[in-house]
């Protein structure tokens, strides 16, 4: 019963995070990366840990619309789930913050590399790549803040519901 309650709590939190993507927000201020790291960290079944945030993203994209960069965004999201799986049995405030931060960094590196490689907006050399990363820096601030807020919020709510309120465990 305890495992099922934990899983259900995780699914509900992930669903709520996915829904919050649909409310108006500043550019790049979404719960997606926090949701992915959280999913990897709390869902023991690895395939499900990947499917849930990717399916949530797909469902919200059905409403928001599809775009050409979806494959790289989804790949980057899967990388964030992988990062979450690395802390699965060692979830703590520090590990959560580090994992979320690392997820944002990798997301930034991967997606901006894809823009440099595929957009034709930048010279196809190291200088062009560095320019692309430099031009992406203004957007990473909102991504970082939202990932920390939503991700840490998810971990905190999960902890409160599963350890304190439902099961009375104060550990």
Is residue 36 within 8 Å of 53, Cβ to Cβ? yes
Tokens of 4: 């099922």
Please report which helix (H) or strand (E) contains residue 6, including its range. helix 2-20
**pLDDT digit string, tens, across residues 112-127:** 999 999 999 999 999 9
- Domain annotation covers residue 171: no
Confidence of residue 8 (pLDDT cuts 50, 70, 90): confident
> What mean pLDDT value characterizes the chain?
90
Is residue 106 domain-resident? yes
170 within domain boundaries: no
14, 52 Cβ separation under 8 angstroms:
yes
Please tell me the distance from the alpha carbon of residue 133 to that of residue 45, in angstroms, as a whole number: 35
**Dist CA 75 CA 77 (whole Å):** 5
Domain that holds residue 61: 2-20+29-165
Domain count, the chain: 1
Contact criterion met (CB below 8 Å) for 52 and 96: no
Looking at per-residue pLDDT, the higher value among 26 and 4 belongs to 26
Give this prediction's pTM. Answer: 0.89
């Amino acid at each position: 019963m305890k495992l099922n309650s934990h899983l259900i709590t995780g699914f509900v939190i992930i669903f709520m995070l996915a829904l919050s993507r649909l409310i108006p927000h500043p550019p790049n201020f979404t719960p997606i990366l926090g949701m992915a790291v959280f999913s990897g960290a709390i869902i023991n079944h690895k395939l499900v840990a990947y499917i849930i945030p990717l399916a949530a993203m797909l469902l919200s994209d059905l409403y928001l619309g599809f775009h050409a960069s979806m494959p790289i965004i989804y790949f980057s999201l899967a990388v964030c789930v992988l990062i979450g799986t690395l802390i699965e049995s060692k979830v703590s405030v520090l590990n959560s913050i580090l994992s979320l931060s690392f997820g944002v960094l990798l997301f930034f590196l991967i997606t901006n590399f894809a823009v440099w490689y595929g957009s034709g907006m930048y010279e196809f050399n190291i200088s062009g790549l560095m320019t692309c990363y430099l031009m992406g820096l203004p957007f990473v601030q909102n991504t970082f803040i939202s990932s920390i807020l939503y991700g840490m919020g998810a971990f905190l709510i999960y902890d409160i519901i599963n350890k304190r309120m439902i099961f009375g465990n104060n550990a």
